[in-house]
A and B are shown apart, each in its own frame.
Chain A
Amino acid sequence: MEIIDKAKKEARTLLSEHESKQLLRNYNIPVTRELVVERREDLAEATSGIGFPLVLKGCAADISHKTEMSLIRTDVRNDEEAVSAFDEIMANMQGTDGAVLVQEMVKGKRELVVGLTRDPQFGPCVMFGLGGIFTEILKDVTFRVAPLEKADALEMMQEIKGHKILEAVRGMDAADLDQLSDILVNVSRIGIENEDIKEIDINPVILSGGKGVAVDALVVLME
């Protein structure tokens, strides 16, 4: 795959958020509409192309967890805010080969995590669970061995302690379990079909109108 070959040529083991999402898109996994902006001059075109409100993020191949580095600005509502966010993020990224990712802001309160790992015994395994910034504190996740069938995906989603979050709760739509199953099954396919890929984090997958959208993604390649 082109994105992976490029990273390998550059001796990188991480794909940037944007590259990671391209991979997901190739496997029919819904991702945010977004554009990479390197120069301030190009910002306006990007923001009008996607439409406010927006999220601006620092995007570079060697940045994996952005919250800690203050590289995210959400709920950007107009051009002024966009410019100021752009400048701030670029400043915080000094020293890296970064650009700014201009991204639609997905509306949804429920954050899930979907992942892929390679187990030495079982090979590629898919993870599902409660996501967001507290993912590693909640540890409410389940695993299945790739390749997944739809039944496996449906079962693993019901196994997390917080599975009721997928129901129509608090005035929100019930999650589209078929659509989420497809995401899990497709992630398992990525693991089977790409031996170069070591790990994938899709966190968060935000439920918007009940459907999952990958709002951030990290792909780790084998060394």
Chain B
Amino acid sequence: MGNLKCFFEPDGVALIGATEKMGFGYGQTKTLVDQNLGKRLFLINPSQSTIFGQKAYASILDIPDAVDLAILIVPAGVVATVLRECAARGVKAVIIQSAGFAEIGGEGVKRQEELTAVARETGLRIIGPNCVGLANTSNGFATTETVKEAMKPGPIGIIAQSGVFGNIVMDMGPEEGVYFSKVITLGNRCDVDESELIRYLGQDEQTRVITLYLEGVKDGRRFLAAVKEVAPRKPIVILKGGRTAAGKAATASHTGTLSGEDSIYAGAFAQSGVLRVRDIQELFDLSKSLALLPRPQGSRVAVLTTSGSLGGLTVDVCEDHNLPFAELSEETLQTVREAAPPWMTVKNPLDVGPSGLFAPFLKTLMDDPNVDGVIGIFLIPWMIVDEIRTQGAGAEMFLDGLAECRQWLDKKPFLLSVVGKREMRGIVQKIVGQEVPLISTPENAARVFASLVRYAANGHTADEAGPARQDSHV
């Protein structure tokens, strides 16, 4: 596993199939050239003698210096040959982006088996085929075009069994307040698989949360072993898709009939401590919350809302997850009663309506020792914001004191969700700062809290250095 380092921190890189012609390979070539690797980058293409003004070589066997990483973007039919040349030239790690292997079935499967055989014979490691490779934000190394903002160093490590998912996640991340340590796309997993990468990211200091997108594991028991080793130190989040129809042979038993593929995965995840999310949005919400928020000491939740209906939806999801509602302390009840207008019902969940008391009551609830986490749902009808703007004021006046919440980041978790016109969310994010995560929906806020509780309950409270601050990425 130490031999995976070359993928992320290569001393020298050879791009085989480099091209300055438009089409497949152009983007990868330009991306690598723009990374200013200088003498550490070799471009290889037998039919182009210079590429982007740089000398190109006909074969990896011709390059003057050894490299430890090669990236292949050549047609499937020649990959095996080129791979053997890489091995001969002392390359230690290869990323094969080319498609046309096991994913097409038939001949492709055999072609891929040959790649695995070369890896076994030579000790060379392969990521792919049929992937877009990886990005490492700590040194700016990327084998695919990336959005500049998405390369800002952050705490989330992504392992995706897909090509494009890596791009999706990097495109969306910054707007979701999510920044990455490493993003790896695995493709067909002819050699390196998710289990190895879980262990690798497990000891990568920059990564605080490991997030996976998988359609299926490569080897179930190896996966579970890797998760069991790493999850106690670092949370592991998974979005699992692609419920393939398990072609089930006729079975004599109820158990055989009932063991649909997903029910077994669900059990395996629960058992090993993997936190499962339902969709991409929840993937972002949970990943950043695990990276930025403290672990809850218990599961007693308080819900604070400016909208009764949204509060109700949140409570439903809390109940789905068996989250107990905190019994507010006498002190809290008194503080709230004193400040609350007569129409407000003082209880948990607490609906503050248009009273303007969201921020102060958030603080009150956070101070309550009976509360392990607060879900705060904030909504102001935009017409009110419009109105006060005409009077020269801003929405900030409803959020007076909310900036203080930054100080709670080492106390207990709070899941804030801003609902309504998107602009409102930007305003709140500015007030609370980048290190406070905002959750996309009230329902997801409840789900995320349930996952935080679950992670903590698994005994995974010991963080090496406390929750990460978002500003640690600058």
Contact = CB atoms under 8 A, between A and B. Distances in A.
Interface of A: 14, 64, 113, 115-117, 119, 121-123, 125, 127, 129, 135-136, 139, 141-145, 152, 155-156, 159, 199-201, 203, 218, 220
Given A119-B220, A145-B224, A156 B255 contact: no
Contacts of B254: 113, 115, 135-136, 201, 203
Interface in B240-259: 251-259
B309 interface: no
Contacts of B217: 121
Given A123-B220, A199-B251, A117 B256 contact: yes
B252 A199 contact: yes
B219 interface: yes
Contacts of B216: 121
B224 to A, nearest CB: 6
B264 to A, nearest CB: 5
Contacts of A152: 271
B326 to A, nearest CB: 22
Contact of B253 (A142, A155, A218): A218
A213 B256 CA distance: 22
Given A136-B257, A200-B253, A119 B270 contact: no
B399 interface: no
B266 interface: yes
B258 A119 contact: no
Say what secondary structure dominates the interface of chain B: helix
Interface residues of B, number: 22
A135 B259 CA distance: 12
A141 B220 contact: no
Contact of B258 (A139, A145, A220): A139
B267 interface: yes
B252 A220 contact: yes
A123 B255 CA distance: 14
A200 B264 CA distance: 16
Contact of A115 (B221, B224, B253, B267): B253
Nearest to B260: A139
B61 interface: no
Most interface-central of B254, B255, B270, B271 (chain A CB within 10 A): B255
Interface in B205-254: 216-217, 219-221, 224, 251-254
B224 A122 contact: yes
Given A121-B220, A127-B258, A127-B259, A155 B251 contact: no
Interface of B: 216-217, 219-221, 224, 251-259, 263-264, 266-268, 270-271
Contacts of B258: 115, 127, 129, 135-136, 139, 141
Given A122-B221, A122-B224, A145-B224, A201 B255 contact: yes
Contacts of B221: 121-123, 145
A129 to B, nearest CB: 8
A111 B109 CA distance: 47
Given A122-B220, A199-B251, 19 more contacts: A14-B252, A64-B252, A113-B254, A115-B253, A115-B258, A116-B255, A117-B264, A121-B216, A122-B221, A127-B255, A142-B263, A142-B266, A143-B263, A143-B267, A144-B271, A145-B224, A200-B253, A203-B254, A220-B251
Nearest to B246: A120
B224 A220 contact: no
11 contacts: A121-B217, A121-B264, A127-B258, A127-B259, A136-B254, A139-B258, A142-B263, A145-B224, A200-B253, A201-B255, A203-B254
A128 B93 CA distance: 45
A218 B255 CA distance: 10
B321 to A, nearest CB: 12
Contacts of B259: 117, 119, 125, 127, 143
A201 B253 contact: yes
Contacts of A143: 259, 263-264, 266-268
Contacts of B266: 142-143
